[in-house]
Amino acid sequence: MLPIVAHGTLVLFDPNPTKQEGDFVWLYGLLPCANSALVIARIYGAGGGLYSSLAAALSLNKLLAFFMLFMAAVLAEMRSVHELLHLKNVFSEVTQSLCPHLCSHLCSHLSVHR
């Protein structure tokens, strides 16, 4: 989401951005959040469950952001629509096979800790 918002902001300030500017903003938007957000949350009184939730969200964000960064590099190297469609099919198959396993693992983990 952040890369799209960042690119929209770039276009808002510069209606005709160069390719390099667009690429930089897209890359910057894919970078994960820094842990400084936890320090700021602590300063403003976040503690206990809220602080743990923030830390978990930041960790998950980093994992997803690094994955998105690698995917953006792969997409940037695509030379044909055929390659792009093949990548989409592989990604869809992997996602469809992993989601049920991850969901069942998460549900069993949550039920054990209740």
Domain extent, residue 110, equals: 80-114
User: What whole-number distance in Å separates Cα of residue 95 and Cα of residue 92?
Assistant: 5
Provide Rg for the chain, Cα atoms.
19
Please report whether residue 31 resides in a domain: no
Number of domains within the chain: 1
Region 81-103 average pLDDT: 83
Please report whether residue 64 resides in a domain: no
Please report whether residue 105 resides in a domain: yes
Position 20 scores a pLDDT of: 84
Tokens coding 16: 């005709």
Please report whether residue 57 resides in a domain: no
Please report whether residue 63 resides in a domain: no
Please report whether residue 92 resides in a domain: yes
Please report whether residue 28 resides in a domain: no
Tens digit of each residue's pLDDT (9 = 90 or more) over 16-57: 888 888 888 777 777 666 677 778 788 888 888 888 888 888
Largest CA-CA distance found in the chain, in angstroms, rounded: 55
Please report whether residue 29 resides in a domain: no
Tens digit of each residue's pLDDT (9 = 90 or more) over 59-79: 777 777 777 777 777 777 778
